[in-house]
């Protein structure tokens, strides 16, 4: 029986159903889908001319037939105010996914708000203001007037440091070029806010400073490189679960075509198992370094490659810098950058020493070097792709570790060439277009610490929930609750006051140490419980939205349904906030400052797109993107010819490296010497606590569960976050499958559900991050890597039992991740 309560049959999509291009808004891969809508009182028929796909549906259809769709791909939603049927199903013609869905994307439709079928009733419909001791629904004008008045009390043309801002910098699920521009123009154009942070890290900075400083943008290849390569090296990433259709539709075909695979992950993931199945176990090398020791491993691989003479000397001579030290190490540069020879001297480490540090056998280090760089028997260069993600980005010594991987790629001439690339696999899609953030400086302010220590008067939050996803979260939440409660109490005491009296009261509480919190989101989040004003945004599909994927493929999602209630696109919320700030400042007589908030007369998201992205990329318009369909165009767009946007399949094909902004176009090598656990407090935490609390994602869950928590399919599987643990460790702790445990250390505590996993190494657990019912970040200490890069992955704590398995947990399966294939 098809899973979906109360659903036993689905309507046939009629021939005249409206069709919209959709890029799945969840992960970086950006799979192509089509959304079909048609009036509620109709459905198609079995005759070929009565259904959208022109097939005879009176004959038996199979699961991959074009006309087929699953219950999860169906909903009833509002469109132009009317109830319509909605089907969102994978697009067989999209080169990204070739018709594949995933357990997340194929549920896009059921995760829309429906007043008919009752899904996602948690979606916000109205602005909410804290009044009379609770949140009251109100109009945009009322809510934004309050936000503007309180904000205006604490900003001025030459000092905007009391306004703190948390904002997405991505595309897809929140963000996109329209919305990063809307927020960017407000905070970095009209204002010069410097105390800000990005959704996933406690500062406004890069995840991969070193790669960029070396000249190499982090998304430099094309997905087809996986089928053109000899070796796929996957580092600190779990693409079967996290970049699913990139893995299935590009990596697996690469393996079937003969590519070898090197995987670097302390944990045996389902990706490892799936690679063994696709490539044959003899073609898969899984290196399991001790947590946080990747740098020593990569340096040993490069040392071996260099000593064997497997370098691409022509490439090094032509495309990389020859000065030993071109950029000296400093507070802004956590390692010197310069020539290959000098970098090699700095990083040189023997396989024996690296084996000692990493726990990876010497023979495996040598084998990895061979698989990455040993030329073919005929002397031809070996092609290899390196794909990395959060296992090292949120790992130890981010700058040097990422730099060491880019060193390897450059040294072997594997960047900018077919079958090459040293790339982030990615998280969300990208969609960044903002005025310069240069005023923030480097290192950027450590936002969370400033806020915990009483900094900031007003906090605007756009599409992130630090309560579930930041580090040092126990302390963050305590400080945040205390400070926002001070303002709530002041607001409660001001009942019956005029607007001016209310703002006076709020200002008084803030000056006494309080914090005024404004939360722009699609649901009422955990941090939103502390907010004073909550503003409802629409999601992708409820607005037109552009973003690019992990191979820089830019597409337009065409609006296919209405947003709930009064909800608006983020870019228009930013614009209306700017309008209100202009008005309030003018009323205050601060006319010169008010004038900085003009230029926001946008009525639609397309207006924001034209004001922002299009002004820098004049070839790109909605109409042209619509015409490019779900295959879009790979950025950067370099022209428009014969009705087609012309893009760039691969960066640096000319051997000229530009991401660092240097005119000479030469790439730099990183002096990425190993130096132990770099973030303050990590070595001590490791010494004091028994268990590694490795953490990350699962296939089923999307991010902080903002939609999952209201989806029975997901909640049936995981009612609370799991903690994978070795069965012998569990026996020693006296816990079994489904039991609730407390994970605790001197930085905080959280809870999770025990899941015995025989492949888990002793004393090394893995916890699902970001769940509403167990924030892993509670036990992460405050210490960050250089340049304020959080080190979520290296966390140690102790574990104790709290409770027996709940009835919900008892219903769940505790089958090993190591499935029989
Ligand atoms: N299903 C699903 N997919 C997603 C997301 C989601 O929430 N759910 N989120 C998206 C987002 S925003 C992101 S950023 C990406 C993240 O994508 P990934 O980075 O692939 O996912 P993670 O699970 O965070 O971490 C990957 C691996 O890092 C390993 N790791 C931990 N410590 C170390 C270490 O010291 N060295 C090495 N080499 N590896 C280590 C972990 O064991 C884990 O298997 O996923 C995206 N895709
Ligand atoms: N321990 C640990 N912590 C981590 C990580 C880890 O691996 N381990 N990974 C980090 C990473 S890579 C990431 S990306 C972060 C994720 O951390 P967050 O960014 O906090 O998590 P998300 O679930 O992406 O948050 C999205 C929020 O935006 C809202 N939203 C969705 N669409 C829209 C929209 O269109 N408009 C608006 N205004 N709101 C919208 C959702 O309701 C949700 O509240 O977590 C980071 N924290
Ligand atoms: S792989 Fe990513 S983009 Fe593709 S359907 Fe799944 S979640 Fe969406
Ligand atoms: Mo992310």
Cβ neighbors of 78 (< 8 A, separation 6 or more) are 84, 115, 561, 562
Atom in ligand 2 nearest the alpha carbon of residue 462: 38
The residues near 159 (Cβ < 8 Å, ≥ 6 apart) are: none
The answer to whether the CB of 702 is under 6 A from ligand 2 is no
- Decide if 413 contacts 312 (C-beta within 8 A): yes
Residues in a beta bridge with 32: 23
Consecutive H or E run containing 422: strand 422-424
Given this model, what pLDDT does residue 818 score? Answer: 87
For residue 806, the CA-to-ligand 4 centroid distance in Å is: 31
C-alpha 695 – ligand 1 centre gap (Å): 8
Ligand closest in space to the Cα of 107 = 3
In which element (H, E) is residue 766 found? Answer: strand 764-768
CA distance 30 to 550: 8
- For ligand 1, atom 40, the nearest C-alpha belongs to 391
Q: How far apart are CA 797 and CA 68, in angstroms?
A: 48
How confident is the model at residue 7, as a pLDDT? 74
Short-list 642, 201, 282, CA closest to 445? 201
Q: Are 523 and 565 in contact (CB under 8 A)?
A: no
247 lines ligand 3 (CB under 6 A): no
Q: How far is the CA of 106 from the centre of ligand 3 (A)?
A: 8
3-state secondary structure of 11: coil
Intra-chain end-to-end CA distance of the chain, in Å: 23
Alpha-carbon gap, residue 53 to 281, rounded angstroms: 41
Cα distances (angstroms) measured from residue 193 to each of 328, 443, 570, 590: 29, 15, 18, 19
Tokens in use for 170?
């991505």
**H/E segment holding residue 197:** strand 196-198
C-beta 26 within 6 A of ligand 3: yes
Write down the pLDDT at residue 4: 67
List, for residues 199-230, the tens digit of each pLDDT value: 999 999 999 999 999 999 999 999 999 999 99
For residues 532 and 201, what is the distance between their CA atoms, to the nearest angstrom?
23
The residue whose C-alpha atom lies closest to atom 11 belonging to ligand 1 is 427
Beta strands 545-548 and 553-557, pairing class? antiparallel
The number of beta carbons lying within 10 Å of the beta carbon of residue 18 is 13
Residues 6+ apart with CB under 8 A from 138: 126, 127, 128, 129
* pTM (two decimals): 0.97
Probe residue for ligand 1, chosen from 29, 30, 242 as the CB with the greatest number of ligand atoms within 8 Å: 242
- State how far the Cα of 490 lies from the Cα of 512, in Å rounded to an integer: 11
696 C-alpha vs ligand 1 centroid, how far in Å? 5
Binding site membership of 462 for ligand 2 (Cβ less than 6 Å): yes
Q: Which atom of ligand 2 is nearest to the CA of 703?
A: 23
769 CB less than 6 Å from ligand 2? yes
Instruction: Quote the pLDDT of residue 2.
Output: 44
Atom of ligand 3 nearest to the CA of 33: 5
Judge if the beta carbon of residue 104 lies within 6 A of ligand 3.
Answer: yes
Q: How far apart are CA 179 and CA 410, in angstroms?
A: 35
* Six-digit token string for 459: 């906090």
Residue 570, Cβ density class (10 Å: 0-12 exposed, 13-18 middle, ≥19 buried): buried
Q: Which ligand is nearest to the CA of 245?
A: 3
Could you tell me if the CB of 167 is within 6 A of ligand 2?
A: no
**In this structure, which ligand is nearest to the CA of 465?**
2
Which ligand has the nearest atom to the CA of 555? 3
- Ranges of the chain whose pLDDT falls below 70: 1-6, 821
Distance 393 CA to ligand 1 centre (A): 9
DSSP-derived secondary structure for 338-394: E-HHHHHHHH---HHHHHHHH---HHHHHHHHHHHHPPPTTSPPPPEEEEE-HHHHT
CA–centroid distance, 477 to ligand 3, in Å, is: 32
- Ligand 1 centroid–CA 140 distance in Å is 38
pLDDT at 763: 98
**Sole residue written with tokens 């003969």:** 258
Query: Taking the CB of residue 326, how many other CB atoms lie within 10 A of it?
Result: 18
Place of tokens 């460790």: 729
Residues enclosing ligand 1, CB less than 6 A? 27, 104, 235-238, 241-242, 264-267, 269, 291-292, 294, 389-392, 395, 425, 427-428, 694, 696-697, 699, 701-703, 793
């Amino acid at each position: 029986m098809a899973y979906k309560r109360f659903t036993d049959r689905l309507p046939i999509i009629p021939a005249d159903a409206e069709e919209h291009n959709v890029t799945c808004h969840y992960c970086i891969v950006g799979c192509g889908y089509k959304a079909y809508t048609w009036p509620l009182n109709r459905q198609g028929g079995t005759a070929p001319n009565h259904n959208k796909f022109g097939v005879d549906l009176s004959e038996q259809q199979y699961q991959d037939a074009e006309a087929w769709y699953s219950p999860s791909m169906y909903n009833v939603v509002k469109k132009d105010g009317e109830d319509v049927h909605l089907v969102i199903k994978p697009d067989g013609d999209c080169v990204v996914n070739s018709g594949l869905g995933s357990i997340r994307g194929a549920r896009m439709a059921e995760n829309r708000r429906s007043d008919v079928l009752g899904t996602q009733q948690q979606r916000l419909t109205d602005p909410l203001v804290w009044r009379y001791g609770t949140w009251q629904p109100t109009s945009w004008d009322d809510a934004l007037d309050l936000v503007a008045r309180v904000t205006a009390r604490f900003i001025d043309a030459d000092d905007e440091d009391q306004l703190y801002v948390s904002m997405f910098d991505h595309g897809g699920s929140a963000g996109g070029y329209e919305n990063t521009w809307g927020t960017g123009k407000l905070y970095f154009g009209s204002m010069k806010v410097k105390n800000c942070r990005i959704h996933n890290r406690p500062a406004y900075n890069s995840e991969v400073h070193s790669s960029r400083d070396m000249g190499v943008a982090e998304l430099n290849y094309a997905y087809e490189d996986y089928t053109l390569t000899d070796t796929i090296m996957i580092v600190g990433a779990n693409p079967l679960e996290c970049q699913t259709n990139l893995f299935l539709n590009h990596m697996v075909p690469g393996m079937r075509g003969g590519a070898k695979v090197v995987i670097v992950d302390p944990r045996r993931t389902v990706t490892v198992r799936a690679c063994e199945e696709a490539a044959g176990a003899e073609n898969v090398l899984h290196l399991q370094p001790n947590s946080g020791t990747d740098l020593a491993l990569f340096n040993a691989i490069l040392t071996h490659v260099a000593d064997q003479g497997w370098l691409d000397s022509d490439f090094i001579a032509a495309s990389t810098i020859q000065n030993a030290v071109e950029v000296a190490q400093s507070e802004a540069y956590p390692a010197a950058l310069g020539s290959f020879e000098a970098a090699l001297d700095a990083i040189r480490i023997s396989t024996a020493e690296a084996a000692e540090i990493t726990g990876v056998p010497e023979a495996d280090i040598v084998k990895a070097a061979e698989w990455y760089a040993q030329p073919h028997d005929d002397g031809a260069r070996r092609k290899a792709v390196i794909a990395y993600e959060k296992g090292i980005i949120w790992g130890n010594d981010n700058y040097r570790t990422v730099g060491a991987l880019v060193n390897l790629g450059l040294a072997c001439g594997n960047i900018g060439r077919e079958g090459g690339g040293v790339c982030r696999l990615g998280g969300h899609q990208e969609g960044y277009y903002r005025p310069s953030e240069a005023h923030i400086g480097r290192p950027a302010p450590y936002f969370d610490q400033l806020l915990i220590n009483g900094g900031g008067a007003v906090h605007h939050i756009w599409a992130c929930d630090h309560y579930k996803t930041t580090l040092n979260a126990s302390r963050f939440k305590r400080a945040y609750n205390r400070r926002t409660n001070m303002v709530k109490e002041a607001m409660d005491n001001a009942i019956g006051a005029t607007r001016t009296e209310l703002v006076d009261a709020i200002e008084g509480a803030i000056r006494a140490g309080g914090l005024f919190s404004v939360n722009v989101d699609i649901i009422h989040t955990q941090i939103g419980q502390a907010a004073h004003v909550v503003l409802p945004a629409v999601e992708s599909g409820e607005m037109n939205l552009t973003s690019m994927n992990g191979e820089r493929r830019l597409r337009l999602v065409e609006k296919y349904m209405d947003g709930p209630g009064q909800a608006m696109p983020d870019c228009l919320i930013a614009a209306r906030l700017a309008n209100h700030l202009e008005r309030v400042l003018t009323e205050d007589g601060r006319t010169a400052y008010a004038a900085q908030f003009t230029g926001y007369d946008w009525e639609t998201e397309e207006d924001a797109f034209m004001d922002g992205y299009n002004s820098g990329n004049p070839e790109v318009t909605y109409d042209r993107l619509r015409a490019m369909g779900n295959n879009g165009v790979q950025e950067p767009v370099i022209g428009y010819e014969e009705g087609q946007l012309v893009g760039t399949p691969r960066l640096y094909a000319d051997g000229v490296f530009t991401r660092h902004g240097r005119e000479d176009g030469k790439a730099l090598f990183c002096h990425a010497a190993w130096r132990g656990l770099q973030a303050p407090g990590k070595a001590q935490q490791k010494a004091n606590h028994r268990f590694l609390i490795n953490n990350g994602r699962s296939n089923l869950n999307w991010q902080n569960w903002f939609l999952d928590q209201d989806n029975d399919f997901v909640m049936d599987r995981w009612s609370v976050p799991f903690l994978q643990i070795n069965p012998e460790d569990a026996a020693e702790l006296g816990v079994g499958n489904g039991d609730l445990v407390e994970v605790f250390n001197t930085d905080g505590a959280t809870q999770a559900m025990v899941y015995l996993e025989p492949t888990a190494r002793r004393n090394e657990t893995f916890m699902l991050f970001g769940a509403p019912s167990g924030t892993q970040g509670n036990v992460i200490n405050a210490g960050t890597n250089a340049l304020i890069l959080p080190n979520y992955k290296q966390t140690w704590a102790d574990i104790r039992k709290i409770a027996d398995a709940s009835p919900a947990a008892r219903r769940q399966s505790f089958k090993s991740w190591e499935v029989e294939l």
